[in-house]
Structures are given as structure tokens and as C-alpha cells.
Amino acid sequence: MVRFLAMTANGLNDLNNPLTTSMLKPRVRFAPSPTGALHIGGVRTALYNYLFAKQHGGTFILRIEDTDQNRFVPGAEAYIIETLKWVGLLPDEGVAFGGDAGPYRQSDRKDIYQRYARELVERGHAYYAFDTPDALDARRQSEENFTYNYLTRSSLTNGLTLSPSEAQARVAAGEPCVVRLLVEPGQAIHVRDLVRGDVVFQSSELDDKVLLKADGMPTYHLANIVDDYLMRITHVIRGEEWLPSTAHHVLLYRGFGWEDTMPQFAHLPLILKPFGNGKLSKRDGAKFGIPVFPLEWNGATPDEHFSGFRDTGFLPEAVINFLALLGWHPGGEQEIFSLSELIEAFSIEHISKGGARFDYEKAKWFNQKYIQAADNAALATHIRPLAAAKGYATSDDFLAKVAALMKERVTFLPDFVEEGYYLFEPVRHYDDETLQKKWNAGLTPIFEELTARLATFEPFESGDLEGVVKNFISEKGLKPGDVLPLLRLAFAGTMKGPAVFDMAAALGRAETVERLRRFLAHAASFHAVGV
């Protein structure tokens, strides 16, 4: 970031320089692989890319990295797109979003990579290799630490050991082969990481990575460099698992002669399991009973079914807020950030270096805070399908009342109907323990009279109801504590829930009176049997 600002400052002095002017408007990409449900860590990577781009008026690009045909999973690409839409991180360019640097799906760019692979061979920075995967596996079996590198390549079958004419002939004959990066030993390769500073690798430690596979598809390494170059990517913000191979990437930029426009790198700390060791994995969801994916995912087999934050009942804003603070913090004491506040506050230098443990309790707290702050009409739209699924037929007006009454006591969206079931359906079970404590036969006429009074009382609003009922209670020489808990039982059946008069007002006159009558019937029978 410091570096970035420095470069933008230079750019202001030299607007003719395409590199520095492009730095004024960064172009970043989120480049997931469609191999299954998008991991929540991927969503965070997308978020950081998005925040960085938006803060600087730059461009956020979605690129689909589907170069591994064996791991392709149908539906995964659509899942990624739906996730980005749900959390509100809309790409400016990319698969399904248009743009003039496409195509944005790597499988649609196959010929481009082949062309560049050939170019790199011609430039002397890569070579054809004819060793079969089986042959290499055999070497790995027999040699403890076998690596395809400057020490071993002379003993393998490739464009360096074969005569040029023979190698050409083999390629021309269509013999299966790969293209490998030619790594020259003896160089120190510096990666200037925006999060970690200068990271140095010795080229002699690096292997001759495969760039183009025998099936004609590129590996990540080649595709990534070619695409970032052609798409004019200025900053690569990705997970820490890519840090070791960044040395290879630097070599590729050099080999192509693109070092001048090489993007800057920022490697993000990983998200760790909530308990135990290791990074968060998809199995942890089932193991700990928590979502680790944004959306529900239904794979081919039952054990490939995962629930997500959305179907668990999280608000996307809460997920974004939670994720933003998992590995980054601006330094103040603010915890709640809207997306636009995040765009404002984000900075790469405040990204933490250490891995962040996935703290589900904190995620729940964020959701609770966002539900509390949401307006009732908005909540009503979220509750509507949940209520419908339960078979409750209700109006938007009533749902907004439910939202108002319940929003301070729920954590997840489905809690509105799960916890607040009594607002939607008649009381089926009364808390008889409380009933036994509070009820006595002498109350019957009093409740009958109260019911009659409420049957005609106007206006049927919470404050007015409270006034009339409390007056009635004192008229009868009773205390609120004698009657209110019983009214609560009448309306909800349970001792938990919103204020008694709020419930009555939300339920409306007819339902309130009906519930009082049913309660009286129950109390009478309970008394007869129970005491």
C-alpha cells in the first residue's frame, strides 16, 4: 500500500507512462476454480479484492480458472456468481458480467496459452518434456526427494537432452508432452509482498514447473501470468497458499519480458479451523455444525451436501462484516462496518500476517446486530418465505409486526418463525408449571370480565391496552405480577417472548379474545385435574 501510493504519486508526475497511469486505477481479479462450492475464505478473498478496487476507483474482475478438466464440477461456476450477487460484490468485468478483456473463462482461452507457451520455448525460458506421469512417479518412488529441476532434467527426456531435430519431430508427431519452465539456478528471486514485505527464494530450490499440460491446457502458473498480463491486472490479492509459487510467477514475467508491468502481490493469511489444527475445510462444517460456505451446496453424493450462511439465516451484510474483520482491521474500535464504510477504511497494510481462526460465535453476533438494525419491512420480506414454508398465511403488515417484536431476540432469520411460532399459530401447549404457580379458581370471573372488556376496547394498540388492563388489575385489587404472566401464557403459551401488550396488539382483537377464551378453558380443566 505504501508502495502503491508511492507509485500513484509518480503516476501523477508522469501521466504518459501507461504503467503508472494504470496504477491510478487498479485492476484486480478474483479467480476461483469451479471445483465445488466456493469456500468462505474465497469469499473473503473476493471481498478484499473488491474493497481495494472500489476504494481506488478501479476494476474488479471475475475470472474462472477451469483449466483442470478432471476437477470440473457442473454448477460450481453458477454458485460462484450467485454468491457474489448475494453478498453484493458485483464484478465490473468477468464471466456473466461482460468486459473487453475476455474471454474470462480460461477454458475459452486455450489457444492463447498454447501460443504463449510456444513463445516461451522460443525465447529459451521453457522446454518440451516427454516424460510420462508414470515415469516421473516411478522416479519419485525410487528417489526420496525427486524434483524435476536443474539437477535432474539432464537425466530426463526433454528438449534439453534430445537433439533439437528429435524434439521437434516428437512434437510434430503429436507425441504427448508438456512444456516446462526452465529455471536457471543461482538466482535470488525477490517477491515484494504488500502484506509480508520482501520474501526471497533461491532459484536452485525451484522445480521446472509444468506450464502446459499434455492435454493442451495450461497449468495455473502459465494461465495466471498470461491472463494477468493480458487483462492488465495491477494487483494480485490471493491466499497465502500461493506465496511459494510466486517465485515461479516472477520468473515467468521475466521470461516473457513483462517484468515492467508485473502486478504487485498481496498474500492473505489463511482462515483456520474453529477448533484444533489446520486450515478451515469443507468437512469442518458438518463436524462442528456450522456453515463454512456462503450458500447451500448439493453435490453428487449425500456427503457432498453442505449448508451455507444464506440458508442458515445470515444477512449478507453481516457475513461481509464478519469476513472483513477476519484477517484485517483498520485500527480503531469500530466493529460494525457497512460495505461502503469498508471500502472507505480498507487498506492492505492493515491485513494481518497470521492465520485467523474462524470464530462462529462472532459471526452470530454480527448477524444479531444486523437483524436488530434492519428495518421491519426489509425483515418482513426475509420472513415471508420462511413463514410460507411453515404453512402460515400472513400479510406483509403482520410480518413487519413480527419483525418488530422479535428482532431483539433472534440470531438467525428462521428464528422469527421458530422462536416466534406462537405469533403465527394458536397456542397448543401451555407452560403448566407457571400456570400452577399463578392460577387459582378465583381468577376465572376476573379473566372473563377482562376478556369481555377487551372484546370492545378501542383503540387496540399496545400502549392503550396496557393502560386499560393495568387499571383493571388495580380495580380488582390485584398486582400486575398476578395477572400479566397469565396473559403471557394465554397469548404465547410460554414464558418467553415479547411484551404482553405488544403481542396482543400484533395479534389483533379477534385473535386476542379467542386466545383468552381458549386459555380459560385450559386453565379450568387444568385446575380440575391438577390440584
Active-site annotation, residues: 282
Q: CB 21 → RNA: shortest distance, Å?
A: 30
The reply to whether 207 sits near RNA by the rule CB under 7 A is yes
Peptide bond into 459 cis (omega under 30): yes
Q: Which stretch binds RNA (CB under 7 A): 12-20, 25-33, 309-317, 395-403?
A: 25-33
The reply to whether 270 sits near RNA by the rule CB under 7 A is yes
Q: Which stretch binds RNA (CB under 7 A): 268-276, 312-320, 421-429, 516-524?
A: 268-276
- CA 239/CA 230 separation, integer angstroms: 22
C-alpha 151 chain-centroid distance: 43
Site track for RNA across 90-129, x = CB under 7 A: ----------------------------------------
What is the number of other CB atoms lying within 10 angstroms of the CB of residue 50? 27
Interactions with RNA, residue window 452-491 (CB under 7 A): 480-481, 484-485, 488
Interactions with RNA, residue window 157-196 (CB under 7 A): 176, 178, 196
3-state secondary structure at position 257: coil
Q: Could you say which of 18, 133, 426, 445 contacts RNA (CB under 7 A)?
A: 133
Instruction: Count the residues of the shown chain that bind RNA, applying the rule CB under 7 A.
Output: 83
Q: Could you say which of 22, 55, 187, 245 contacts RNA (CB under 7 A)?
A: 245
Q: Could you say which of 118, 232, 254, 369 contacts RNA (CB under 7 A)?
A: 369
- How far is residue 131 from each of residues 61, 120, 191, 206, measured CA to CA in Å? 37, 19, 31, 19
- CA 496/CA 517 separation, integer angstroms: 21
Q: Which stretch binds RNA (CB under 7 A): 67-75, 295-303, 387-395, 512-520?
A: 67-75
Task: Give residue for cell 440458508.
Answer: 311
Q: CB 196 → RNA: shortest distance, Å?
A: 4
Q: Could you say which of 94, 285, 313, 498 contacts RNA (CB under 7 A)?
A: 498
Q: Which stretch binds RNA (CB under 7 A): 1-9, 60-68, 285-293, 453-461?
A: 60-68
Q: Which residue intervals of 173-234 are DSSP H helices?
A: 220-230
* Angle formed at CA 444 by CA 438 and CA 445, multiple of 5 degrees: 135
Grid cell listed for 26: 487498479
The reply to whether 450 sits near RNA by the rule CB under 7 A is no
The reply to whether 205 sits near RNA by the rule CB under 7 A is yes
Q: Could you say which of 266, 325, 387, 413 contacts RNA (CB under 7 A)?
A: 325
The reply to whether 201 sits near RNA by the rule CB under 7 A is yes
With a CB cutoff of 8 Å and minimum separation 6, the contacts of 301 are: none
The reply to whether 65 sits near RNA by the rule CB under 7 A is yes
Indicate the angle between helix axes 443-456 and 462-475, nearest 10 degrees.
Answer: 140
Q: Which of 26, 25, 23, 31 is nearest to 6 (CA)?
A: 23
Q: How is residue 347 annotated by DSSP?
A: -
